[in-house]
Every structure is written in C-alpha cells, then in structure tokens.
Amino acid sequence: MKLNKLLWCFLFLAITSYALGQQRNGENANSDPDTMMFRLSEIEVYPSRLDEYITILKEESAASVRLEPGVISIFPMFQKENPTEIRILEIYASKEAYESHLQTSHFKHYKETTLKMVKSLKLIDMQAIDKESMSMIFQKIEE
C-alpha cells in the first residue's frame, strides 16, 4: 500500500513536470502553474466489462489530449495485480479547461457508454507541492 502511494506521487510529479516543461517551451502557453487543475480518478471496473472499458477509455483520453489545448494530461493506468482498478492522472491548464472538457462529445460518449461498466468512481483533486523543480524529471529522461 505504501509503495502504491509512492508510485502515485512519483507519477504525479513526473507528468506534472512534463506539462510544466512543455509550458515553458511554448506549448500550452495559456497555462499558469498556479491555476492548473490536477486530479486523480480512481475507478473500479466490473471484470466482465474491462476490455470494453479500456478500449473506450483509450479513445477518450487520446482524443482529449489531441483535440483540447487545455487538456495537458489524461494518463490512464491500471494496477498490475488488479487490472480492474484503473487510475487516471488528469492535468488541465485551468478549471475552465476542465469544465470545457466535460462538454466535449468524446467525453460525453465515454461517460454515457461506460456508466454501467464502472463499479465505483472516486475523484481526488490534488495540489502540486514543488512546481519549480518538477520540470527536471522529464529533462533527465530526455537526456
């Protein structure tokens, strides 16, 4: 359990640092690190619907990042030992970008088609601790 929390913290910092690094390089230039929105979605999917759910989730997350400038990250994962436990790291340029995301056709399609596949859903809003040093993580990976 402790390892799982450490992994989440690392992953959160890694993706956030990448997003902030891209922002410094001119991408997502409208994002302000102080107004960005960070969220972890914890989803449990019924085992019999897992493959179908993952297919729809992959389509939605890819479309969101590709089509919406304010969506910096929708990064889905599952627990290795329990694949029905899905986690999504969501990073938005602002609260407004998140609210706009909820109105898109691809998000509405995802929400409507997966509603009966989801056993439980928990949305956890997060706050970055050290925004200034986060960009170093991806700089090291790119070296």
Which pTM was predicted? Answer: 0.75
Q: How many CA atoms lie within 13 A of 57 on its CB side?
A: 25
What is the pLDDT averaged over residues 41-62? Answer: 98
Across the range 21-31, mean pLDDT stands at 45
pLDDT confidence bin for 105, thresholds 50/70/90: very high
Comparison of pLDDT for 21 and 120, the residue scoring more: 120
The arrangement of secondary structure in 30-129, i.e. its CATH architecture, is 2-Layer Sandwich (3.30)
pLDDT for 141 equals: 52
What is the structure's pLDDT at 49? 98
Instruction: List all residues 6 or more positions away from 139 whose beta carbon is below 8 Å from its beta carbon.
Output: 21
Residue 53 has what pLDDT? 98
Strand 37-45, strand 118-126: pairing:
antiparallel
Average pLDDT, the chain: 82
Secondary element (H or E) of residue 71: strand 71-79
Query: In the prediction, which pLDDT does 137 show?
Result: 55
Query: Both ends of the chain: CA-CA distance in Å?
Result: 32
Q: Where are the domains of the chain?
A: 30-129
* pLDDT at residue 22 tops 70: no
